[in-house]
Amino acid sequence: MALTDEAIGKIKEMITSGRVRPGEKLPREADLAAELGLSRNSLREAVKALSLINVLDVRQGDGTYATSLAPSLLLETLSFVVDFHRDDTVLEFFEVRRILEPAATAMAALRMTPEQKAELGVILSAVTVSSPVDDFVATDLEFHRKIAQGAANSVLASLVENMALPTTRARVWRGMTEPGALQRTLAEHHAIHHAILLGDPDLARSWAAVHVAGIESWLRQTLTQ
């Protein structure tokens, strides 16, 4: 394993140093092994490990390439992990959302273009408190995804999206069982949107924190009962 770790480190150094750029093809296996001073077996194991986390793209009959290294691509591994979360860990995802989303919303208030702000309004107007819960929650997810994208930080946007998906079931559950949940959610969404329209990062951050904390508080109480 130590030899494989060394091989992984050397390949990563090739990429981070610019020796191989995103999208470029790596030297053929024999040449790369000689250049890095590695056995071909260690090199193969390293390539396999880095392809699993989307750093490398192995194309049969063609060769091995560095991927685009886009954050959304590299964080797909995180998405795979959270897909297997246990129900009793959903509160932990809400805790992470409570950390990330207020920061993303504050950044979005400063960075969203007028067109993006208008698009956010269109998303909000797509549902009412009379909409089916599934449609309401789907719009809820899209609303938060657009805000995260509006923060103009691709790493943060990917993290927010990956943390939001495991909480979908809890959001549907709340919408179906808690009186006034949809009205409250819609009102908070409009307050967040208004703060973004004003370009007020502190107000946007505060409303986002209230919004996520409210769902988390309801879920804690519900699970206790």
**Comparison of pLDDT for 177 and 138, the residue scoring more:** 138
Note the pLDDT tens digit of each residue in 203-223: 999 999 999 888 888 777 776
Beta strands in the chain (DSSP E): 56-59, 63-66
Q: Domain range spanning residue 219?
A: 74-224
CB atoms < 10 A from the CB of 115, how many? 8
- Indicate the SS3 state at residue 25: strand
Whether residues 99 and 190 fall in one domain: yes
For the segment 57-75, the average pLDDT, to the nearest whole number, is 77
Whether residues 146 and 193 fall in one domain: yes
Whether residues 83 and 38 fall in one domain: no
Choosing from 54, 69, 84, the residue where a domain stops is 69
User: pLDDT-based confidence at 225, cuts 50/70/90?
Assistant: low
Instruction: Write down the pLDDT at residue 72.
Output: 60
What's the token pair of residue 106?
């504050």
Give how far the C-alpha of residue 92 lies from the chain's centroid of Cα atoms, to the nearest Å. 15
The CATH number covering residue 10 comes to 1.10.10.10
- Please tell me the least confidently modeled range out of 82-91, 175-184, 212-221: 82-91
Whether residues 118 and 176 fall in one domain: yes
Residues 215, 217: Cα–Cα separation, whole Å: 5
Instruction: Write down the pLDDT at residue 194.
Output: 97
Instruction: Write down the pLDDT at residue 78.
Output: 47
Instruction: Write down the pLDDT at residue 74.
Output: 57
pLDDT at residue 1 is higher than 50:
no
Number of domains in the chain: 2
Whether residues 55 and 87 fall in one domain: no
Note the pLDDT tens digit of each residue in 103-160: 999 999 999 999 999 999 999 999 888 888 778 888 988 999 999 999 999 888 888 8
Whether residues 122 and 64 fall in one domain: no
Instruction: Write down the pLDDT at residue 77.
Output: 54
Whether residues 134 and 80 fall in one domain: yes
Residues 112, 119: Cα–Cα separation, whole Å: 10
pLDDT at residue 3 is higher than 80:
no
Cβ atoms of 192 and 105 within 8 Å: the answer is: yes
Choosing from 47, 69, 91, the residue where a domain stops is 69
Choosing from 34, 69, 104, the residue where a domain stops is 69
Q: CB-based contacts of 1: which residues, under 8 Å, 6+ apart?
A: none
Average pLDDT of the chain, as a whole number? 83
What's the token pair of residue 197?
């329209």
Instruction: Write down the pLDDT at residue 133.
Output: 79
Residue type at position 181? A
Which of 86, 108, 10 lies closest to 50, judged by CA? 10
Give how far the C-alpha of residue 187 lies from the chain's centroid of Cα atoms, to the nearest Å. 25
pLDDT at residue 172 is higher than 70:
no
Residues 6, 42: Cα–Cα separation, whole Å: 9
Whether residues 25 and 119 fall in one domain: no
Whether residues 81 and 58 fall in one domain: no
pLDDT at residue 79 is higher than 60:
no
Instruction: Write down the pLDDT at residue 94.
Output: 81
Q: CB-based contacts of 9: which residues, under 8 Å, 6+ apart?
A: none
Residues 146, 99: Cα–Cα separation, whole Å: 17
pTM: 0.62
